Amino acid sequence: MSEDGIGRRVSSSPRTTYKMMGGDPGAPPDGTAFQIKVLASGSAGNAILARAGDTCLLVDAGLSADALARALAPLSLTLSDLTAILLTHEHDDHARGAAGISRQAGIPIFSTETVARACREMFADARVETFRPEVPFRIGPFTIEAFPLPHDAIDPVGFHLSLDGARAVVALDFGDLEEPLLERAKGAQLLILEANYDLHLLREGPYPWFVKNRILSRRGHLSNDAAAKAAVASATGNLQTVLLVHLSEVNNLAPLARDTVKWALEREGLGHVRVEVVRPNGQSPLLVI
């Protein structure tokens, strides 16, 4: 183990910092552009690929190894091209495939120390590295900072990923807007943001009230209206694109989520910010920051 220069201990294994990878015909000539793609989004599983040069980070691993391999194939990537897994939290739709992918690809799982301890059995025989929220660390060319989010999980976080001047913020499961998210989102060009439910559809929907109350709580999930507030607050900085994810199949509609956020931005004179949405169990296009 060695210090990374910003207070994190990381493995000295070259697999953690860089590895050779399969070619992608869409990659720029220098191979250093910050590329990001949502591979899966929703209650069935979540996974996001962040890529630059020889480094491929997987944010969450809610897919099996086989399903992830199928999602990577159109990008001319395989599991062996992955560098590391970053976990936002331990819930099944975000972490069920982490140990198997880690073992099969020979890559580490990065999580908070609290999650690593709680998931000791789940992560058996997998390589686990830990980070501290709000303490930056590096993997390959990426500087990564986790930040706390309010959710009913053990130690949930979002991620701020930066590469030179390109920055993306990933905030998936959470129920309330807090400063750690908003201050980082203001400096990002891309905000990947939960828009889980429409309030009317949730209230009138089939879920029992104890489930509805959990979703509505500040440690539950984010509504379309709250996502719109986050987008407006973030658009005062460098924001170019908001990508809405983790939509409920029952309590939301993709056009409704998109239009709620888009209209809020336009009302504030911020219509230059592009709003995209990933349908439940869908994928996003490959984005380049």
Q: pLDDT tens-digit profile of 126-136?
A: 999 999 999 99
| pLDDT > 70 fraction of the chain, expressed in percent and rounded | 89
Instruction: For the chain, give the mean pLDDT.
Output: 87
Tell me how far apart the alpha carbons of residues 15 and 18 are, in angstroms, rounded to a whole number.
Answer: 6
Give, rounded to a whole angstrom, the gap between the first and last alpha carbons of the chain: 32
- For residue 287, give every residue at least 6 positions away whose Cβ sits within 8 Å of its Cβ, in sequence order, or none: 35, 36, 37, 190, 241, 243
In this structure, what are the phi and psi dihedrals at residue 59, rounded to the nearest 5 degrees?
Answer: -90, 110
pLDDT higher than 50, residue 279: yes
Q: How many CB atoms lie within 10 A of CB 201?
A: 15
pLDDT higher than 90, residue 44: no
Contact present, 94 and 115 (Cβ < 8 Å): no
Least confident of 24-33, 51-60, 99-108, 255-264: 24-33
Tell me how far apart the alpha carbons of residues 185 and 171 are, in angstroms, rounded to a whole number.
Answer: 9
Confidence of residue 31 (pLDDT cuts 50, 70, 90): low
pLDDT higher than 50, residue 3: no
pLDDT digit string (tens) for 180-228? Answer: 888 899 989 999 999 999 999 999 999 999 999 999 988 878 999 999 9
Q: Which of 75, 166, 86 is nearest to 130 (CA)?
A: 86
CATH number of 2-283: 3.60.15.10
Tell me how far apart the alpha carbons of residues 170 and 185 are, in angstroms, rounded to a whole number.
Answer: 9
pLDDT higher than 50, residue 114: yes
CA 224 to chain centre: 18
Residue of higher predicted confidence among 153 and 107 = 107
Give the 3-state secondary structure of 42-59.
CCCCCEEEEEECCEEEEE
Residue 282 has a pLDDT of: 94
Tell me how far apart the alpha carbons of residues 211 and 100 are, in angstroms, rounded to a whole number.
Answer: 30
Confidence of residue 250 (pLDDT cuts 50, 70, 90): very high
pLDDT higher than 50, residue 120: yes
104: burial class by Cβ within 10 Å (0-12, 13-18, 19+)?
middle
User: How is the chain split into domains, by residue range?
Assistant: 2-283
pLDDT higher than 70, residue 90: yes
Confidence of residue 112 (pLDDT cuts 50, 70, 90): very high
- pTM value > 0.85: yes
Side chain identity at residue 211, one-letter code: V
